[in-house]
Structures are given as C-alpha cells and as structure tokens.
Structure 1
Amino acid sequence: MRRNRIVRLILIAAILAAVVLCALFTADGSETGGFRQSAWALLPPVIAIALALITKEVYSSLLIGIVFGGLLYSNFDFEGTVIHVLSDGVATVLSDRYNVGILIFLVILGAMVSLMNRAGGSAAFGRWASAHIKTRVGAQLATVALGVLIFIDDYFNCLTVGSVMRPVTDKHNISRAKLAYLIDATAAPICIIAPVSSWAAAVSSYVEEGNGLQVFIRAIPFNFYALLTVAMMILLAIFKLDFGPMARYERNAEQGDIFSGLRGYADAASESTNPRGRVPDLLVPIFVLIVSCVIGMIYSGGFFSGADFITAFSESDASVGLMIGSAGALVFTLIYYFCRRLMSFRELMGCIPEGFKSMVPAILILTFAWSLKAMTDSLGAAEYVAALVKSSASGLRSFLPAVVFLIGCFLSFATGTSWGTFGILIPITLNVFPLSDPIGIVCVSACMAGAVCGDHCSPISDTTIMASAGAQCDHVTHVSTQLTYAIVAAAVSFVGYIIAGFVPNALIVLPVTLALLIGVLFVLRFLSHREAK
C-alpha cells in the first residue's frame, strides 16, 4: 500500500513537471502572457480535477490548480504568481458580495441543521419515517420527491433535502454516497426545468428582447439531460439497480456501513438529541425556511416595490434572497425552540458555532473552487471557448445541438460553473440561429443541459460540494460514485441532441431518448446480475 502511494506521488510529480516544462517552452514571453485565451487557460481546472480523482484529496488538488493558474497568468514569475493567487484570487472571491452571501447562507443552514438535530426534530422525523416508509425503494423515492418539490434554488435544495432525509436513508441502510447522488441529481437538474427558480432567472437574463422566460419554457422539453436524470433516479430506485463504484458502497450500506469507512462531513451525526423532540420540530422550521427564502428572493427582485411575482423572481438576487430568508428562519427557529423549552438559551447559542464548524469543509472547498474559477477567468478561458464555438458553427447546423451540449459539458466541468457557461454559449447560439428557428431553441436547451451535466460531474462545482455537505458524504466519494450515472444520462442525451438536430420536435425525440435510457438501464441491470453470479 505504501509503495503504491509513493509510485502515485512520483507519477503526479512527473506529470506536473512535464506540464510546467511544456508551458515554459511554449510561452511567447509577451507582456500579455502567452497562455491567455488559448487551450492553456483550461489546464488549471483540468489539473485540479485529475489530481482530485487520483489522490482522493480535494484541498491540495484545488490549491495546486490555483497555483498553476497563477503561474500561467504571470508567465512563471514568482512575485506575480503570489500576488495574483492571493490578491486577485482568494481575496477577491472572498470579498465578492454574492459569494459572501452564499457563505452566510451556508453558515446559517449549518446552524439550523445543528439546532434541529439537538432539538430532536431530525430523530423524531426518522422515527416517523421508519413507521411509514418501510423499504429502501420508498426512502429513495421520498428523497427524489422532496428534491423535486424544493425547486427554488440548488444551494437551498442540497442542504435542506440532506438535513431532512438523512435520518430516513440511514434507517434503511442507504449509503451516504447514494444519498449525495439523489440530492445532487434533484438540485441543478430540477432547477433548470423549473420556470420559477433562480436558474430560470439566470438563463432569462442572457436572452435579449425581454422574452427570456418564454425561451426558457420553450427549451424545457428539449432539456434531455435534466429530464433523463430525474427519470433515471426513479428507474434506479424501482429496478433496485446500482452499477459502477456506487454498487460497492450500496453493498457495504446493506451490511450496515453507510460510509464505507469515509465519514466526510458526518461529525454532526454524533450530536446528542432531545428525546422530547417531535416531527413538527423539524418540519415547521423547514417550512418557515422555504417560505422565508421565497419571500427573500422576490424581495430582492423588487416584488414589494411594485414588480409582479414572475418579474420579481426573474430579477431576483439568489445570494441576497437566500441570505435574508435563512436569517429570518434562523431567528424563528431559535424563538420556536426556546418557547417549546427544548433547549436552554445557552444550548441554543452553542448550536450556532457547532453549525459553523460542520460547514467549514464545504466553505474551504467553495473558496478554493471560486479561486480556481478566478484563475481560469483571468486566463481568458471563456473568450477562447467562445471563439472556438463561433468559428466552428458554420456547416454544423444539424449537429450543432450535440456539439453545443458537449462543449457545455466540458466548459462547465472544467470551470465548475453552470451560470458562466450559460453566459458564454447562449448568446453565441442565438447569434447563429434566431429564436424563430427551431434549431435555435434546441441549441439553447443543449447549452443548458450541457452546463448542468458538467456542473453535475465536476468536483469543483459548488452544487456538487453542497450535495456532499448536505449528505455529509466524503466529497471525492460522491464525485467518483456519481460520475458513472451522470455519464450514462449524458451519453443518451448526446444521442437525443443528434436526433433533435434533424427532427426538432420534442414530442418525437423525448420519448425516443427515454426509451433508449430504459434500454440502457435494462442492459446494465442484466450485466450487473451476471457479474453478481
């Protein structure tokens, strides 16, 4: 084991050294930097992702990617690298108002989860669910159903579904890796097909002429990856099918080891609980949290200043709305538990730092992921990809939806952001094809689906990180087990976009892709049963 570890470290060092030497010999030495707006701009996230999957350690992998991005930006100047990484990278992302709002939202959610656990609400819900949800299939379908219902925002979805469903899935020996997949697959994929969500607002903002929401709704039937992912979760639960790395974690869970030895964020599970807790002690704060976040989002969109509900949601600031909503819900929860006499004032206040500590791993990974994105942005990765797509768009009319889907997958996977991918690809596709052309709508949907697919797979995606935190699952475990499932849905979606390029009719293409997915899952089920024998 030790020898394998040494060999792995030597290989990693050799790869990094080869990349550095290659970069040094290919730089043009100009003041603007020979690596900007070129394929080199995509290398830092690729290095970070590859190292994370190889080493199973995400913090150092992200840090190496950040440093390498700084080296490319400064043409391997030591002083320039340090200043760019610390000042333009870490300090800048931590001073960004939107990012700080998300971090505050995370901390408040962590405090609320700690409060609900200590008050006994989570344990009470687990007891209630064990009496009403009697099978592993039922527990998985209940998780999917709750994720579908919480369609407002992916961040909110990940942490809320995780805190509510952990007691249920633990009771039925469902692995934390599987729970993390169910959470992640009902976060971005649901938000991207929900007209009333922060994601709909983001996509609509990239469409000119004020008809962004209409374009978003027209693109929903062609969003094959999101729709197939939802269908796949249901089919996997009903067929009792697991394949790839996930199968091993589920087998271990059936034997009672839901973590497979990797506890990840699970420290909060050891908190003592109040035996007087009741199911409403969990559900009431969650309901207030949902309502408060909706009110916070429409407030940030100007609803109370005269805007209608749809307009307010489309113009909302998710960071501000979630921060305001979660703060209001936290105050309510503290008062509610104090009036219920479930905890003393000292115990209530003690849950706040405990919740903060439980979110420290997620906050660190998010900070590094944002810093890595800042490095990639400074190298002009977006401009490089935009020019590449625009130059290759002519002559690929029928295949362009599939091409846009692949580019969206790669760009979102490498940068860890869906919204940035929307901003790059949607204006390009709309310039190539007008909205009156059916292929234009298919391409917009392909961009949205590809961005969500890459975001779903990427270990540096904030949604993926929060899904790990919500399930209290080791982050690399979540990424490696989810990847196989996401690739299956992506491959079927790719075929669907090839068909849609020639037949842009959702009533025809969507049933065909769904039938293809069912066929693939039946084949995988047959192969997994044969391997088991």
Structure 2
Amino acid sequence: MDWMSVIPPLVAIAVVFWKKEVILALALAVLSAEALILVNADIATSYMAPINAIERVVDTAASPGNTRVLIFSVLVGALLAFIRDSGGVTATVNYLVNKGVAKSRKQVGGLTMFTGIAVFIESNLSVLTAGIFARGLFDRFGMSRARLAYIIDSTSAPVCILILLNGWGAFILSLLDAYELPGSSASILWGSVFFNFYAIFTLLIVAYTISADKVHGPMIEEEKALSQVEVNQTTEPATKARFMLVPLVIMVLSMIGFMFWTGNGVLSEGSGSKSVLYATALATAIAYGLLLLHKRFTHKEAVEIGFKGMGELLPLVTIVLLSLTLGNSLKVLGTGVFVAGIVGEYLPLMLVVPMLFIAGAIMSFTTGTSWGTFAILIPIGVPLIQSLGLPPSLVIGAILGGGIFGDHCSPISDTTAVSSLAAGTDVLTHVKTQFPYALFAGALTLIAYFIASLVMLG
C-alpha cells in the first residue's frame, strides 16, 4: 500500500498539466486520497470517499491555524481593493518614480527584493507586502506579474530560513530539541545557514535576474506577451500615496508587535498565523478608515469595494484550502514517510546528504508543504547524524533546503498560491515560469552537497 500513497499527488500534478486547472486537480487528488484511506483501512465502502473528502475539507477549515490562513487570504482581497480603487497605488508609483527611487526596471526589482528581505518575520507577510507594494511599479515599467511572483516567492522562504529570527527558526528548534546532539540545537541550526546552499543560490539567482534585467525560460514568453499589449497601469487616477503606504507600514510594524505579543515577549516564539491575520485585519481596517476620513468613499461604497476584492480572490482561497486539505489526507496516508524511505541505511556515506536533499525536494513537491517535510525528515536525519557521525549542520541544511526547493516547484503548494495571490498572477503561470530557476538552483545545490560531503567526510 505504501507505494500507492503517492497516487494522489501524481493525480494532482497530472491533471494540472493536462487540464491546466488547479482546483479540479486538487479536488480529484483529495478524492483519490480519501478512497485510498478507506481501502487501506479495509473498509469496503470506498464509495463513501466523496463524503469523507468533504469532511476532510471541513476538518481542515476547522483547524485554527488553517482558518487564520483562509481568513487572511480573504482579507487580502479587501485590502488590495481598498488601496487600488482609492488611487493609492497610482499615487505611490508616481511618488517613487518622481523621487528617483524607482526610475528603472533594475531599481524596481531591487526595491521589491529588498522589501521581501526586510520583512523576514513571516514568509506570507513577506510575499504579501512585497507583492502589493510592487504591483503598480511592475505595471509601470512593463514587467510581467509572473516575474514579480518569482521574485517575491524566491526571496521570502530563503530569507526566512537563513535569518531564522522568526517562527521558522522556532519550529525547527523545537524539532531538534527532542534529540541528543553533539552540540546545542541553536548552534547546529545557526551552523546550517552556511550549508543551506539552495537558499543561498536562489537569492543569488534572483539578484542576478534583477541586476542583469534578464529573464529565461517560459518567463521570456510572459514578458513578450506583456510587451505586445497595452498595459493598463491604473484603474483609478492618482490621489494620495498614504492610501497605500500607511496600511502597508502599519501591517508590517503591527506584525512585529503581534509576534512579540503572541510569543510573550520573544519574537521567534510568536505565532506566525495569528500575527499575520491580526496585522492584515488591522491594515484593512486602517485602509477603510482612511477612505472614510478623507471622504474618498462612503461607508456603503467602501463595503462594496471590499467585498468585490474578496470575491476576486475566492478562486485562490479555494486553492489554498484544497492544498491544505490534500496535505492532511497525505499525512494520513503516510506519503511523506514513504518518500523519505528512499534514504536508506545502506547508502554510501558520501551520498547520504545529497539524498536527504533529494528526499526533501520530492516530499515537499508531492505534499506541497516545506514545514511538513521538515517535521518528517529531521527525525530521520538526526539518527543518521548520531549513528554515522555526519556533520549535524550539513545534514540539517540539506533537509531544510530540500523542503524549500520542492515547495518552489510544486503546483499544489499553498505558498505557491499565496505568492500568486500577492503578485496578481495565475498559479500555473507562476509555477511554469519559476520552475527553471528553481531547478537550476537545485542542480547547483546537489553538486555543492556532493563536494561538501567529499571534503567533510572524505
């Protein structure tokens, strides 16, 4: 039965590339996963799979953490609508261009990447802030939203996993603290930063694409298609930049405050899902208040705009919900554990670390979750450290990098959906255009782990 646990993600990926429809692909994957769960439990009533699939969606939505992500995703729609229809986006773009802060495509790309790096507290907040901030600038300078989605997605997770003064670091520390290691969990985790080759290579490649103002692979077609049409830069005439900048600044600053608050004064122990929800809700309320205060819209008009914005994002919110649901179904099936089994005890010592990276990538790609990959692979990797005497930081770096690599390539990842949402582009377009960059960084990383293993274990 173990090998059958990979059928649902394969169904999802096959339907995505066949029908070009993510929601259908995820729904069929959840349905097939629930059917396999019934078969695996020796329950003959496999025709109950549709009912079980619905209940799995309900259970997923009932989880406090998942509910926060879903509400946050809906609120983003209202926030985007407020700052867009108010004319704040146009005013901000004009202000930055006139001040010379964003007077070229390279400067716009660099500003976007810097914003994503600066907001390293939480990955969703990073992509959201950078995406909202840069949308109008990318439109103004004729750069595709696919390029924006790539920059923010390939900046957020690598930065979060390298800086670690956030929920990512706290989560991984909690996994490492359960084991006796040849050093403190904190020192091993901080040491893994230098061996997280995928995160480092990915950031360098993003920086290269910005500094050289070059795109490659399917991204070229997106840029050409954009240049052949007249870009509608504004939906509303410019008003006041504060309609955009004030909500965004409040969202970022309040996110930091909420992280301290939910972590009882310790930033790295704060709840990312709670903090990003509270910060987004506050920013949305402030944006609404500014519209009324400056008499830009009446209460009725603002409410209509907010709900219109929420409605525009419902397809992406559905993708997020189904992605989370599929992850829960695959956890019951044990897909991640099966994939992790490719790293066996009979591997040559030099191949263990590269194979851990590959296992993490495959697991994250097929399950759509990097954190779930960490939770499964670290308990497998730590015993290898203990029994084989492998360098702890090298092993942990490979596991973390593999999880992010697979997540960057996966069309069923909730992070992929959120990045597309923030940039305002189609999920499949984002996956297709980001894949070559991620694959190139992954290939370089694999070579780096072979070399590191030879040097450190030879």
Deviation at 1:504, TM superposition (A): 4.2
Please say if 1:297 is aligned against 2:266.
Answer: no
Which of 328, 339, 355 aligns to 2:293? It is 339
Map 1:61-80 onto structure 2 (within 5 A): 61-75=25-39, 77-80=45-48
Deviation at 1:438, TM superposition (A): 6.1
Please say if 1:361 is aligned against 2:361.
Answer: no
| Aligned residue in 2 for 1:173 | 142
| Aligned residue in 1 for 2:3 | 39
Q: Is the 8 A contact 1:67 1:81 kept in 2?
A: yes
| Aligned residue in 2 for 1:5 | none
Which of 139, 148, 153 aligns to 2:122? It is 153
Deviation at 1:272, TM superposition (A): 4.7
Secondary structure at 2:349 match in 1: coil
Q: Is the 8 A contact 1:442 1:504 kept in 2?
A: no
Please say if 1:185 is aligned against 2:158.
Answer: no
Please say if 1:58 is aligned against 2:41.
Answer: no
Please say if 1:273 is aligned against 2:236.
Answer: yes
Matched length: 447
Query: Structure 1 residues 302, 319: CA separation in 2 closer, same or farther (over 3 Å shift)?
Result: same
Q: Could you tell me which amino acid in structure 2 is paired with residue 201 of structure 1?
A: A
Deviation at 1:485, TM superposition (A): 1.1
Deviation string, structure 1 residues 345-366 (Cα, Å, up to 9, x no partner): 2223223212211221111101
| Aligned residue in 2 for 1:238 | 211
Please say if 1:398 is aligned against 2:350.
Answer: yes
- Partner Cα distance (1:103, 1:65) in 2: 20
Deviation at 1:388, TM superposition (A): 4.3
Please say if 1:102 is aligned against 2:102.
Answer: no
- Partner Cα distance (2:388, 2:136) in 1: 49
| Aligned residue in 1 for 2:50 | 82
| Aligned residue in 2 for 1:469 | 421
TM-score, normalised on structure 2?
0.92
- Partner Cα distance (1:438, 1:73) in 2: 37
| Aligned residue in 1 for 2:222 | 249
Map 1:366-515 onto structure 2 (within 5 A): 366-389=320-343, 392-434=344-386, 439-504=391-456
Q: Is the 8 A contact 1:140 1:237 kept in 2?
A: yes
- Partner Cα distance (2:445, 2:14) in 1: 24
Please say if 1:216 is aligned against 2:193.
Answer: no
- Partner Cα distance (2:4, 2:424) in 1: 35
Task: Tell which structure's C-alpha radius of gyration is larger.
Answer: 1
Q: Using the aligned pairs only, state the percent identity.
A: 28
Q: Could you tell me which amino acid in structure 2 is paired with residue 469 of structure 1?
A: L
- Partner Cα distance (2:28, 2:230) in 1: 33
Deviation at 1:334, TM superposition (A): 2.6
Q: Could you tell me which amino acid in structure 2 is paired with residue 293 of structure 1?
A: M
Please say if 1:48 is aligned against 2:15.
Answer: no
TM-score, normalised on structure 1?
0.79
Which ranges in structure 1 are unaligned for 5 or more consecutive residues?
1-34, 259-268, 304-311, 506-533
Query: Structure 1 residues 52, 257: CA separation in 2 closer, same or farther (over 3 Å shift)?
Result: farther
Deviation at 1:270, TM superposition (A): 9.7
Query: Structure 1 residues 348, 214: CA separation in 2 closer, same or farther (over 3 Å shift)?
Result: farther
Deviation at 1:406, TM superposition (A): 0.3
- Partner Cα distance (1:206, 1:148) in 2: 25
Deviation at 1:329, TM superposition (A): 2.6
Q: Could you tell me which amino acid in structure 2 is paired with residue 207 of structure 1?
A: L
| Aligned residue in 2 for 1:118 | 85
Deviation at 1:257, TM superposition (A): 6.0
Q: Is the 8 A contact 1:225 1:449 kept in 2?
A: yes
Q: Is the 8 A contact 1:144 1:183 kept in 2?
A: yes
Q: Could you tell me which amino acid in structure 2 is paired with residue 219 of structure 1?
A: S
Which of 274, 280, 291 aligns to 1:326? It is 280
Secondary structure at 2:297 match in 1: coil
